[in-house]
Amino acid sequence: MTSKSKVLVSAPLAADLLARIETEYDVIQLPSANVLTAGTAGEYAEVVGWLTTVKQPVNAGILAELPAVRTVSNYAVGYDNIDVPAATGRGVRICNTPGVLDDAVAALTVGAILNAVRGLSRAERFVRSGQWAAGSPFPLTSDVHGKTIGILGLGRIGKRVAPVMAALGMRVIYHNRRPIEGEVPAGAEYVGRAELLAGADVVLLMVPLSPATEGFIGAADFAAMKDTAYFVNPARGALVDEPALVEALRSGSIAGAALDVMAVEPLPADSPLLELDNVTLLPHIGSATVETRRAMAELAVDNLLDSLAGRDPKGAVNELPAGASL
Write out the catalytic residue numbers.
236, 265, 284
- Whether the Cβ atoms of residue 65 and residue 256 lie closer than 8 Å to each other: no
Please report which residue ranges of the chain form alpha helices under DSSP H: 15-22, 60-64, 84-89, 102-118, 120-128, 156-167, 193-199, 219-224, 242-251, 290-308
Residues 197 and 98: their CA atoms lie apart, in Å, by 28
Q: CB of 161 within 8 A of CB of 168? A: no
Q: How far apart are CA 275 and CA 118, in angstroms?
A: 20
Neighbours of 255 (CB within 10 A): 21
DSSP sequence for 122-178: HHHHHHHTTTTTTTPPPPP---STT-EEEEES-SHHHHHHHHHHHHTT-EEEEE-SS
CA angle 106–108–114, rounded 5-degree value:
105
What backbone phi and psi angles, to 5 degrees, belong to 302?
-55, -45
Q: If we measure between CA atoms, which residue out of 25, 10, 155, 22 comes closest to residue 73?
A: 10
